[in-house]
Structure 1
């Protein structure tokens, strides 16, 4: 009888453990059910699918649910690169520079002496020889000083590099002069304008460069005196290069 009693007691203990396992399974299933309901109502379709897959994997004992599911690639909006912002801001400043220069030229009736162009390389101001220099000379004329001061003041609104370009016609220098060639004359004119922008207008010298084209980059053929006069000029080009930050 004692042996039979012990066997019954053992069987009762086994039934109790099975009931606990069934209860825990039920609770787990209810938890999964509510998680799935929450997923269907709150999460995107892609996240729900990923969650279901994660749960399936979890029940197989290989992983747990990952709550940090990344959104699909098509929903990702890349942040704008700071350099791109700088480029856009600088382009806006160059547009405003062009407007200010155009307004100054029109208000002072300088259309026959100054020309303004918005080119791929930058904003170009063309100053004709008649406003800047005497024929064959490189000294800036007194009447050009107020114009250069005003132009230089407007150029202070941006920090872009500035290229000063000297140009002449194709007439050879035959008379006694300090210049040996049209290259030499154009270089002296470009240098004097560049130094004026630095010394009189306070533009940082690291922004300035000057170059001479001599007679070899004419706007029009040198076939008439009027055309030759058009080719004698100095260009001030505010370049679209990286602004000087120094």
Structure 2
């Protein structure tokens, strides 16, 4: 009897131990399972975040592509797409440089630097004609001597297809009431318009050109002397860079 009771007690204790081992194994497996799920979700989040960063960067124009799932801050290199230069912009700059050189050569060879100046500006190439080479004082009628000059300039302008802006300027002397123009603004606009029409007659496409009159409101020097007033009476012909033409 003593041995039989002892065997039952040993048998009961052993069964309880096996149940605890099974329970511990199940808990361990569940823990591992959730750790694996969590790790997988972290990897997917990193890939998703990496994809979002790549798309945002691509839409900004930097064309950076990340598809390795590498988390931010990793030392692994991120592949990038090569950046290509804009060949059209380069070609346009080359044409404008050639146009500037041709205009400069024309001015120098014809000894016109005292009445025509040339600037290469961010907006475009600007040719400035002083009043006396184109018009008499207070008049918008082009002088005869202006015709061959504008003809030569038009031939150079036709070497490019950029838009052209013709800008008229005057000094601040008021127009005499008996004159044809009621204000300096109207005089400057009429001068710019007549230069545009002459360039059109010489072959520059009309749909490339526009004109504007500024009157006395955009002087390059103060109108405090006659010499300065003479400098302010001018017409600009601006060959506009294409990017600036699209924004204007």
TM-score (norm 1): 0.66
Q: Is the 8 A contact 1:162 1:209 kept in 2?
A: yes
Change (3 A) 1:73 1:206: farther
**Counterpart of 2:230 in 1: which secondary structure?**
helix
Matched, 1:77 2:82: yes
- Output one character per residue of 1:114-138: Cα deviation in whole Å (capped at 9) or x when no partner: 0000111000000000000000000
Q: CA deviation at 1:77?
A: 2.3
Decide whether the 8 Å contact of 2:126 with 2:237 is kept in 1. yes
Rounded to whole Å, the distance in 2 between the matches of 1:242 and 1:139 is 33
Q: How far apart, in 2, do the equivalents of 1:108 and 1:197 lie?
A: 19
Counterpart-to-counterpart distance in 2, 1:157 and 1:221: 36
Change (3 A) 1:158 1:242: farther
**Aligned equivalents of 1:229 and 1:77: distance in 2?**
54
CA distance in 2, matches of 1:115, 1:165: 14
Task: Name which of 189, 192, 204 aligns with 1:190.
Answer: 192
Deviation at 1:241, TM superposition (A): 2.0
* Equivalent residue runs for 1:57-96 within 5 Å: 73-74=78-79, 76-78=81-83, 80=84, 84-96=86-98
Return the offset for 1:87: 1.2
Between the aligned partners of 2:213 and 2:103, the Cα distance in structure 1 is 24
Structure 2 gaps of 5+ residues are 1-67, 69-76
Describe the shift of the 1:185–1:73 C-alpha distance in structure 2 as closer, same or farther (beyond 3 A): same
1:49-96 CA distances to partner (integer Å, 9 max, x unpaired)? xxxxxxxxxxxxxxxxxxxxx9x7547424x26xx2111110111011
Displacement of 1:243: 10
Pick from 120, 123, 126 the counterpart of residue 124 of structure 1: 126
Which residue number in structure 1 is paired with residue 102 of structure 2? 100
TM-score, structure 2 length as denominator?
Answer: 0.65
Q: Report matched runs for 1:68-217 at 5 Å.
A: 73-74=78-79, 76-78=81-83, 80=84, 84-199=86-201, 201-217=202-218
Deviation for aligned residue 1:217: 0.2
CA distance in 2 between counterparts of 1:203 and 1:242 reads 20
How has the CA–CA distance of structure 1 residues 243 and 159 changed in structure 2, closer, same or farther, with 3 Å as cutoff? farther
3-state SS of the aligned residue for 1:214? coil
Instruction: Give distance in 2, aligned partners of 1:128 and 1:172.
Output: 19
User: Is the Cα–Cα contact under 8 Å of residues 123 and 244 in structure 2 kept in the other structure?
Assistant: no
Count of residues in correspondence between the two structures: 171
Q: Is the 8 A contact 2:168 2:235 kept in 1?
A: yes
The question of whether the paired residues in 2 share the 8 Å contact of 1:152 and 1:203 is answered with yes
Q: Partners of 1:97 and 1:112 in 2: how far apart?
A: 20
8 Å contact 1:138–1:189 — kept in the other structure?
Answer: yes
